[in-house]
A and B are shown apart, each in its own frame.
Chain A
Amino acid sequence: EVQLLESGGGLVQPGGSLRLSCAASGFTFSSYAMSWVRQAPGKGLEWVSGISNSGGGTYYADSVKGRFTISRDNSKNTLYLQMNSLRAEDTAVYYCAKKGGGSCYNRMDVWGQGTTVTVSS
Chain B
Amino acid sequence: DIVMTQSPDSLAVSLGERATINCKSSQSVLYSSNNKNHLAWYQQKPGQPPKLLISWASTRESGVPDRFSGSGSGTDFTLTISSLQAEDVAVYYCQQYYSTPSTFGQGTKLEIK
Contact = CB atoms under 8 A, between A and B. Distances in A.
Nearest to A45: B104
Nearest to B49: A111
Size category of the binding interface on chain A: 20 to 34
Interface stretch (B16-24, B50-58, B75-83): B50-58
B72 to A, nearest CB: 15
A44 interface: yes
Given A45-B93, A47-B101, A107 B50 contact: no
Interface of B: 1, 31, 38, 40, 42, 44, 49-52, 55-56, 61, 91, 93, 95, 97-107
27 contacts: A37-B50, A44-B93, A44-B105, A44-B106, A45-B42, A45-B44, A45-B104, A45-B107, A47-B95, A47-B101, A47-B103, A59-B101, A60-B101, A95-B50, A104-B102, A105-B38, A106-B97, A107-B95, A108-B42, A108-B50, A108-B97, A109-B52, A109-B61, A110-B52, A111-B49, A113-B49, A114-B49
